[in-house]
Structure 1
Amino acid sequence: MAISVAIETPLQDDVRALVSDLNDHLLPLSPIEFQFKMSVEQMAGADTTVFVARDGNGAAVGCGALKDHGNHVGEVKRMFTRPTVRGQRVGSALLEAITTLAKAKGVTRLVLETGAGEGFADAYRLYERSGFTRCGVLLDYPDSEHSAFYEKWLTLAPAQ
C-alpha cells in the first residue's frame, strides 16, 4: 500500500476523526488523569507541527506531531495509526518525518511520553526500533507508574 506523509493542519474533519479515534483507543489503557492529550486546536498551535499519513485513496490513516519546547528539545506527540494499517510501517514513516524535521529545526534531544503497560507494547517496539531509549521523567510530566519516557539524541542536519 502506498502511504504518503505530509505536514497538514489538524483542523480538518478527517484528521479530527483520527485524533478522536486515538483518544478512544487510549481511554481503556490508562487512568484519564495520566493521559496527556493535546486537542486538535492545541496541535494547530505555532509550537507544533502535525504530520498526517494518507493511503493511496487519500484517507487519513495515521498522525504524529512534533512539539517544540525550545532549548533544542522537541517532543513527539499524538502518534497513532489506524488498526487497518498497523504492521505496514506507517508509524515508522511518521516518526522518520518527525525526526527529520526536528533535526532541521535544530532539535538535539527528541523526547516522548507514552503509557505504560501491555497495551503499549507496539509503541515501545516502534520507538526502540527508531533509536529511542527509555529514560527518566521528562519535561513537566508527573513521575507515575502509568507513563513510560523515551529520548533520542539527534545530530544536527548539515547547513544548506
Structure 2
Amino acid sequence: MIRIATDDPARPDVHQLLSEHLADMFATSPAESVHALDHSALTHESITFWTAREDGALLGCGALKTLSPGHAEIKSMRTASAARGRGVATRMLEHIMAEAARLGCERVSLETGTEEYFAPARRLYARHGFTECPPFGDYALDPNSVFMELAVAPK
C-alpha cells in the first residue's frame, strides 16, 4: 500500500532522488530556467515536503510552498523511475491539493518546463484542472517555462 507522509528531504534515499531530479532539470533546460529546489532549500519553513513510500521503498516526492496567504506553489514533484506508471504522481498531486485545501489555500500554482520532457507533467496537471496562467510570485516570463494554476475549493 502506498503511503504519503511528511519526510526529511535530507534523508539519504530522498536526497538521491532530488539530486537525480536536479540533474535532469539541468540536462533538459537552460540553467537560468531551472527552478527546482535542492534538498536543503526544501527544508525552509514555508515548505511542507512529502514522500510516497511502499513497504519503506521511496516511490516519489512532492512539496507545497506557501507564497502568501491563500496562495501556494507545488514544488519538487518527482516519481522514482522504477515507480513510474503506477499512479504515484496522481496520488501525490491529490494529496498536495487536499493539504492545500485544508490549509485554506484559494489557489495553487506551479511552474514546469516547455520541453517535450515535461509533457507528461503538463498532461497530469491539465487532467487535474490546472490551466496556464501568467508568471506568479518571483517568476518572470520565460520561453522555457509554463505556469499553471488551479483554484482550490475550501474544505
Q: What interval of TM-score do these two structures reach, taking the shorter chain for normalisation?
A: over 0.9
> Which whole-Å deviations, capped at 9, do the CAs of 1:104-139 have from their partners, x for residues lacking one?
111010000011121111101111111111111121
Matched, 1:83 2:81: yes
Percentage of pairs with the same residue:
35
Question: In 1, are the aligned partners of 2:72 and 2:100 still within 8 Å (CA)?
Answer: yes
Matches within 5 A, 1:95-134: 95-134=93-132
Provide the C-alpha distance between the structure 1 equivalents of 2:90 and 2:2, rounded to a whole number of angstroms: 11
Let me know the Cα RMSD of the aligned residues. 1.1
Residue identity matched to 1:126: L
Provide TM-score, normalisation by structure 2. Answer: 0.95
Residues matched between the structures, number: 155
Instruction: Measure how far apart 1:55 and its partner are.
Output: 2.4
Question: Residues 17-72 of structure 1: CA distance to partner in whole angstroms, max 9, x if unpaired?
Answer: 1101111222221101110121211211111000101123x121211100011221
User: Moved runs in structure 1, 4+ residues, more than 6 A?
Assistant: none
SS at match of 1:28: helix
Which residue matches 2:33?
34
Q: 2-side partners of 1:16 and 1:130: how far apart?
A: 28
Partner of 1:19: 18
Letter in structure 1 aligned against 2:5: A
Is the CA contact 1:18–1:61 (under 8 Å) kept in the aligned structure 2?
Answer: no
Name the CA distance, whole Å, in 1 between partners of 2:143 and 2:101.
Answer: 31
Structure 1 unaligned blocks of 5 or more? none
